[in-house]
Structure 1
Amino acid sequence: MAEVFCQHGLVANAVDFLTLATEEFKERPKHSIIAFHSAVELFLKARLMEEHWSLVVSRTPDLTSFESGDFVSVTFEEACQRLAKIVGSPIPERARLTLDVIRKHRNKMVHFFQDIDDPVTREQMAMEQLNAWHALIGLIGSQWRDVFDRFQLDIDALDGRFAEHRLYLQSRFNSLAEKLASLKGEGKVLAACGRCGFEAAETTPVLHELHSAKCHVCHFAPHWLALECTHCSAEFRADGDETSTCEACDTVFDASDIAEIVDDDPVTTDNYYDRVTPANCTRCDGHQTVVLFHDHYLCTGCLELTDHISACGWCGEGSNGDMEGSDWKGCNYCDGRKGWDRD
């Protein structure tokens, strides 16, 4: 019961810090940055605690010390490592890098003086926090939804608190009016950005069903697959999240479902060891999420597109990453010869 109570407390505190970050954004931006980073860490620790309370403790877990609050908790980096290696639910690389920007800015605020009153810095700060907030939404509202659903988080209400951030980006949007009009005149497709909301996301096809966009206001650059629902034939969008939903019929697709839809491998052999795909993704730690996609290889977990698949020199697992030296250092799923020699 104590563990459950602590987890509820972590989530409640995370929401409080997130609220504080939005309230202080205009008048006390330094406090906003620090509060936002605290919220990020608390959400990660709450997910770790779902697995076991000891994962929140950095070293030598002790239940009595934990319950009394006398312990050193994991850092952002440690939390990310444990979520990937122990919990088996790694933070997607794009989301991790986005959240890490907040961590680095927080450290800069705490240890060094920075003038954050000029408009350009405020715009940058607004972009950083909007991007980090949407990375959090992807975690607590999608990938870890089964964990956070019971906390009854009102994500729409929390999202509404970022109105001030979007206002700071309005001036940037206004300044880009001539450029955006020119892009439209050239036939470029501009859509509403999924993060800042401004009609400034230049969308382009990458390869058949794979598309990308880049927002000229907040620099959000998503990839997605435009696919046909296997249940109702309506088009739905797979964003590389843990699950994607067809809005027409509410069918939910996970990465393995998406892989079945886009996999171009004709499967000419029943022998698993003779097949190149499905392979593993070094970018998001996806297990057998990489499939053949129009003469390329696509990870249906994070939508990383590559031109090659290589086998680990030690365990033989296929991967879309660089396997040079893997016979010694291993891959995402083995420790290589060095791990064997250490044993």
Structure 2
Amino acid sequence: MARRWLKQERRTKEELFDALVRNALGFVNSSIDHLQTKPKNAIVDLYTAVELFLKARLMKEHWTLMLSKPETGDLQNLAVGDFLSVYLDDALNRIPSILGERIDKTASDNFKALGEHRNQIVHFAHSGMDNPSKTQAGVIAEAWASWHYLHALLTGLWSDVFQPYAAELEVLNRRMMRQGDFIKTRFEILKPQIEIQEKKGKKIVPCGHCHMPAAIVGETHTWGADYTCMVCGVDDTAVEECHAELPCPSCNAPFEFFQKDLHACPHCGHVADTDILIDLCSKHFAEGDDWCEEGQLHIASCHKCEHPEPSVFFIEGMWSCVACFDRGWKAIMCERCDEFVTGDVERIQYFACHKCERQVREQMLRMVETSESVSRAEGSEEPAPMAKE
């Protein structure tokens, strides 16, 4: 009998499945860590994760399907990790033929291409990665496309199988979505679907998160349009643009200030941070809406970004925050703390505003605890002894 150099502790099929999935999650995490600094490692790690997730899906159906030769399966060997597992090509063949689950050809082709990159890196040398005169962008983009297809399987077709790991998958997807190369690749993959939506008459606008022209507009309001981005999956509102101008405190030239990415005067470069914008708006937007009485406060505190200083002014017909650049909310005086704030009017009137919400919750909790203590005390009182006849 061949000598084994590694001794594994005995585990159940359930424990092995969990270990397999967590190992795959770890490789995805490592791939993201290495993308910018060690692209070779990133590709190898992501391919390993793809292969492990495919094996996990097969194992969930039946543990023998994960083996390179199912007919040689032995539960005792499985328990200690003594077996040869299936390779990518066989896994991709078994899933549709045995499980009856169709994997899109573009996805399987991408997984195979990623495998070829991985084999070149691990077993020989990848010319596209070693030659400084050639760009790595194509290979890296292919890696991000692989995550797109893999994530779609894990959270779509196989969502029931991998539901216990939904939180971890969401965290990894958020990390991936912050990578510019992945965003661009995902947009190119989805571009035909986005164009179909346009042909159906849907309005497409740039997403405020991934900045791709892939946000499908839904309901529209006076303050903006609700949208769902096909690239990053975010539901948000495209706020109605504000074109109001302020004079630069340095060169006095007017400039459109209500822009999240604007940090300086476009004419002279003078800093235009939040404090400066608040100061300028205080002088140039000194009135509120029709609900504000004369002499009443006209600068509200923002419930969205909770900027330390009041930063919301009535600009071009809407309450507009110059700290987070959100707009369109109502602004009212909170009757509990006398703060002028934005937010949901009914919530502020019948519960609390963002300024006093914590105190109100604590007060309500103390009232409940006091009530429960009284109830327990009353329930524990011993009945008076009955008088003897």
Q: What's the TM-score once normalised by structure 1's chain length? A: 0.49
Larger Rg: 2
| Larger relative contact order (CA 8 Å, sep ≥ 6) | 1
Q: What's the TM-score once normalised by structure 2's chain length? A: 0.44
